[in-house]
Chain A
Amino acid sequence: MAWRTRIEGSQGLPEREFNGPVVGLQAQYADGLGRLGDDFVGADPEEQDRRLATDPAFSRLLYEHACEGTYGDPVYGGNRDRAGWVATGFAGDVQPRGWSDDEVRTGE
């Protein structure tokens, strides 16, 4: 229920509104993308930055999800070919091999 509420919003359903209405991620994206404008993708970078700066709450949401997509586990569809991990030298999940005791101690 938590994630349906978080994604879809509370939609007036009493079982989702025990602490009041919740605006879902779907609505936040629809509204936020609308405010950035249909021509956002084609705008030059300075103009893109200017528009993002006018909407700090949506920009923060975009940034958090961009970071999850770039540095999170590829199983979710982002970080393709572990590009975010390769670029930053992060080994990711090393199970089932793990690290040997020598690799732990020496850092080699």
Chain B
Amino acid sequence: MSDLDADAVIVGSGPGGATFADVLTAAGWSVIILEKGRNHLLDLEPPYGLKGEFSNDEVKFAQRHFLGPDPLVEPRTFRRTEADGDRLFTGDVNNLPSTVGGGGTHADGKLPRFREEDFGLLSARGPVDGAALADWPLDYAELEPHYAEAERLIGTAGEAGANPFAAWRSGPYPMPAGPDMFGAVLSAEAAERRGLHPYRAPTGANSVPYDGRPACNNCGFCAFGCPIHAKGDPVASLRRALLTGRCRLQPEAYVTDVLVDGTGRGATGVRYLDADRRPQQIRAAHIVLAAGAFETPRLLLRNGIGNSSGLVGRHLTYHFQTFTVGGFPFSMRGERGRCVTHLMDDPIVPGPAEDAAARAAGLPFIRGGTVEHGSSTLPIQEALNYPPGPQHNRSMRDSALRDRLWVFTMQGEDLPQPANRIDLDPSVVDAWGFPAGRVTYAPHRHELLASAHWAPILEAVMLDAGAEWSFSSTSPPMGEFQPGLDHPLGLAPASKHVMGTCRMGTDPSTSVVGPEGRFHDLDNLLCADSSVFVTAAGYNPTLTIVALAHRAASLLSGSPLPSPGTTLSAP
């Protein structure tokens, strides 16, 4: 061990990497976390106080890329299929924050679990022509204790039993649900009148003081980073790891290479460029990739490792998002509260109407996704949706597209397809001179059908709730692409839920990572992000990322696995 810098080096400080560090340091391991982005989250010296750099400032966060990545420095490219040529677009493609805390800083902290069926969709309902459906190599029962731990470690508020479609749970949520948003009460009541099943969303925002952090005070802009650190994801895990004294967190460290030994079977460390672009090296017994489902395959493809299956970067999934908006005759108070306080999972569990629609289209099933009851809160964004001219001031005062707007967002299940992938752009590079990641993505017709089926149902709910008008749009857009025509949300999926690019499985010829999170090709290289997802389900991925990372890190370090029914208390 003497020539090693640490027991483990972790690439990426988002929810997956932070959880891995939390578990390993608790087991006595030494850990170095390398983060490409800057640090705005917490002091990196004892006592690791929480910084106050987050604020509800639309210019800073939405217009100026404060949390990174800046698309000028780190461009990504997009095309729908190879027929589009090398690329259709260069810039921001599903950019999640590149910063200490990763995607957890941006997320508004909705933390649903997947359902039992999500881990075995092929067996339960498949196959589907044109889709590479597969079962996960683990089931819900194996993951349940880790879901419970993830909820406890992050700090999750919710209401057990409120969602009739939820998977079984071994215990209650660590905190009760926070206050219902005004608009969500209206839309949830309307949804119930129409036979749907809205429920109080499990969120990572504290409803009561928890783990030394305050209760959320409902300021309304979770996506900019929490100004008071009432959102536990993943600041709680990072701070706990640092406080052990066995963890070092290095921001502005751009990992260029995973170093491999002469046998090709073992990783020995990583090489990275520091903030001054000087090459540095860290040697560690284990290397954990937690850079997200976009950057993890990009690194592997650049290095040419871990890819004997040829599947690194493939089976890229998002969520196919359907946005049903409603215009109300009064203010919806959408900027008060924790962004989304209600979800409903009816589209995830097909009923007779969905089965009939699927049969008519020659598909075995259609599944949408969880539906978020939410709002629109950004005045600059609203202003840019209106044209300039004499009507501008009146439009802004009436605020039909912000203050009086309510929005259902359905996170529709996106079926994995081999042709949907992340690879290296042949000519666009980043500021370090490395090839940009490129997305090739087109939805399966399953997603289009599920969206078209659910949109009118959601519009009817919106009108029942009191909206004067309602319509739906999707991301990526439906219909034929017309060159020169701007789509407001762009051609690429706007979803920040990126998954599937290092698929998990037991067979090294059909998967990249094994069920314990280890790469098939390299014994001591592991993955702790949503790259390993086998299917996308219709749920926000963060809690499942954390649960999988918790399981992989516990197995690696020999930490006792939590058993179902463990008494829950703040860590």
Contact = CB atoms under 8 A, between A and B. Distances in A.
Interface string A64-95: 10111011110110000000110111111111
B72 A5 contact: yes
Contact of A104 (B57, B73, B218, B227): B218
Contacts of B301: none
Chain A interface, DSSP helix/strand/loop, else mixed: helix
B396 interface: yes
A97 B217 CA distance: 7
Interface stretch (B102-110, B142-150, B428-436): B428-436
B228 A73 contact: no
B380 A94 contact: no
B380 A1 contact: no
A1 B431 contact: yes
B403 A89 contact: yes
B70 to A, nearest CB: 4
Nearest to A85: B379
A104 B219 contact: no
Contact of A107 (B178, B331, B382): B331
B217 A99 contact: yes
B59 A93 contact: no
B396 A87 contact: yes
A98 B217 CA distance: 5
Interface stretch (B332-340, B413-421, B438-446): B332-340
B460 interface: no
Given A87-B393, A89-B403, A106-B182, A72 B219 contact: no
Given A6-B72, A94-B219, A70 B383 contact: yes
A85 to B, nearest CB: 7
Contacts of A94: 56, 219-220
A41 B90 CA distance: 36
A69 to B, nearest CB: 9
B335 A91 contact: yes
A99 B397 contact: no
Given A1-B73, A2-B73, A75-B57, A98 B219 contact: yes
A105 interface: yes
Interface residues of A, number: 43
Contacts of B55: 73, 93, 95
Interface string A36-55: 00000000000000000000
A93 B399 CA distance: 18
Given A71-B380, A88-B399, A76 B59 contact: yes
B329 interface: no
Interface in B282-304: none
Contacts of B428: 19
B179 interface: yes
A101 to B, nearest CB: 4
Given A72-B58, A103-B218, A106-B182, A67 B384 contact: yes
A68 B59 contact: yes
B182 A104 contact: yes
A34 interface: no
Interface string B383-403: 110001000010011010001
Nearest to A76: B59
A86 B429 CA distance: 44
A99 B72 contact: no
A67 B393 contact: no
B181 A104 contact: yes
Contacts of B379: 71, 84-85, 88, 90
B397 A88 contact: yes
A73 B182 contact: no
B63 interface: yes
A96 B228 contact: yes
Central interface residue in A72, A96, A106, by most chain B CB within 10 Å: A72
B60 interface: yes
Contacts of A72: 57-59, 63, 380
B180 interface: yes
B56 A95 contact: yes
B121 interface: no
A67 B73 CA distance: 25
Contacts of A95: 55-56, 217, 219, 227-228
A70 B101 CA distance: 31
Nearest to B218: A99
Contacts of A73: 55, 57-60
Given A18-B429, A71-B383, 13 more contacts: A2-B72, A18-B433, A59-B388, A71-B382, A87-B397, A88-B379, A92-B56, A96-B217, A98-B219, A104-B180, A104-B333, A105-B179, A107-B336
13 contacts: A2-B72, A19-B75, A70-B383, A71-B380, A73-B59, A73-B60, A87-B393, A88-B396, A88-B397, A88-B399, A94-B56, A96-B228, A104-B333
Q: Which 5 A-B pairs have the closest CB atoms?
A: A98-B217, A107-B182, A93-B56, A67-B383, A101-B179
